[in-house]
């Protein structure tokens, strides 16, 4: 093997790589926030909502969980313009990531909600708490504490799967890598660097989630 590594072209494009990395971080963070909000609402609907709403949420969750993310992305970016709803590539990517995460996180949060002992809910009712107060303080926070590791893993998977949005020309890290590869033909070097960057992002997100858990949920159990 006489392959000669040449990282000069990759290092010369650091501004583009940093821009692509920042776009990936922005897309992932926004999708995590919006997707979590969607998941909390859908989990509430599945556990305490009226029957028609439960059916609607069940249909949404089953549809998203049983179809490829790439198909969902293509539907939002390529199919919606046929009915007059044209979206930019970053907006379509954000919506697709939010919708996808919302479906998966709904089931995680639902499982956490259903793990809360009914005695705690009855205690909240005995204290004359309102229904939204019971859901927020008695159900949701303990449930999030129990399922936070699973949610954090799902968030990191979302960040890694964001590389798919490059197929609709969203200027994320993978899209920048593809552009550099077509310009320099140094595929091996470029994708080594991209792999390292994605690994660093995953470790950074993991550290943020670990710190968030320690600051928000890491309190001693009262038994």
pLDDT tens for each residue of 17-51: 999 999 999 999 999 999 999 999 999 888 878 88
Q: What is the pLDDT of residue 219?
A: 58
Q: What is the pLDDT of residue 74?
A: 94
User: Is a pLDDT exceeding 80 seen at residue 106?
Assistant: yes
User: Is a pLDDT exceeding 60 seen at residue 220?
Assistant: no
Q: What is the pLDDT of residue 223?
A: 46
CA dist 42 and 170 (Å) reads 28
Instruction: Write down the domain spans for the chain.
Output: 8-216
**DSSP code of residue 49:** S
* Structure-token match 């969607």, residue found: 38
User: Is a pLDDT exceeding 80 seen at residue 67?
Assistant: yes
Task: Give the CA distances from residue 57 to residues 17, 53, 82, in Å, rounded to whole numbers and listed in that order.
Answer: 39, 6, 25
pLDDT tens for each residue of 107-150: 999 888 888 777 776 777 777 777 777 777 777 778 888 888 89
Under CATH, to which class is 8-216 assigned? mainly alpha
Q: What is the pLDDT of residue 123?
A: 76
**Mean pLDDT over all residues of the chain?**
87
User: Is a pLDDT exceeding 70 seen at residue 7?
Assistant: yes
Percent of the chain residues topping a pLDDT of 90: 50
Nearest to 114 by CA among 137, 94, 95, 140: 140
User: Is a pLDDT exceeding 70 seen at residue 1?
Assistant: no
DSSP element (H, E) containing 118: helix 118-126
Radius of gyration of the chain (CA): 21
User: Is a pLDDT exceeding 50 seen at residue 56?
Assistant: yes
Q: What is the pLDDT of residue 159?
A: 93
Instruction: Give the pLDDT band of residue 186 (cuts 50, 70, 90).
Output: confident
The segment with the largest mean pLDDT, out of 50-54, 101-105, 166-170, is 101-105
User: Is a pLDDT exceeding 60 seen at residue 65?
Assistant: yes
Max distance between CA atoms of the chain, in angstroms, equals 76
Percent of the chain residues topping a pLDDT of 70: 96
User: Is a pLDDT exceeding 50 seen at residue 98?
Assistant: yes
């Amino acid at each position: 093997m006489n392959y000669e590594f040449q990282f000069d072209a990759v290092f010369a494009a650091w501004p583009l790589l940093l821009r692509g990395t920042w776009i990936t971080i922005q897309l992932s963070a926004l999708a995590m926030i919006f997707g979590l909000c969607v998941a909390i609402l859908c989990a509430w609907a599945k556990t305490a909502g009226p029957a028609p709403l439960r059916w609607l949420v069940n249909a949404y969750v089953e549809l998203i969980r049983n179809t490829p993310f790439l198909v969902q992305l293509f539907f939002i970016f390529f199919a919606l313009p046929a009915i007059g709803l044209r979206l930019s590539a970053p907006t379509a990517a954000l919506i697709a990531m939010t919708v996808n995460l919302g479906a998966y996180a709904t089931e995680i949060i639902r499982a956490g909600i259903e793990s809360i002992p009914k005695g705690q809910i009855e205690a909240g009712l005995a204290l004359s708490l309102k229904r939204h107060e019971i859901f927020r303080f008695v159900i949701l926070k303990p449930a999030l504490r129990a399922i936070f590791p699973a949610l954090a893993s799902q968030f990191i998977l979302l960040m890694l799967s964001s590389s798919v949005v490059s197929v609709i020309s969203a200027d994320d890290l993978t899209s920048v890598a593809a552009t550099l590869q077509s310009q320099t033909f140094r595929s091996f070097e470029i994708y080594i660097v991209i792999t390292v960057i994605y690994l660093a992002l995953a470790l950074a997100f993991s550290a943020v989630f670990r710190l968030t858990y320690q600051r928000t949920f890491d309190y001693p159990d009262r038994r």
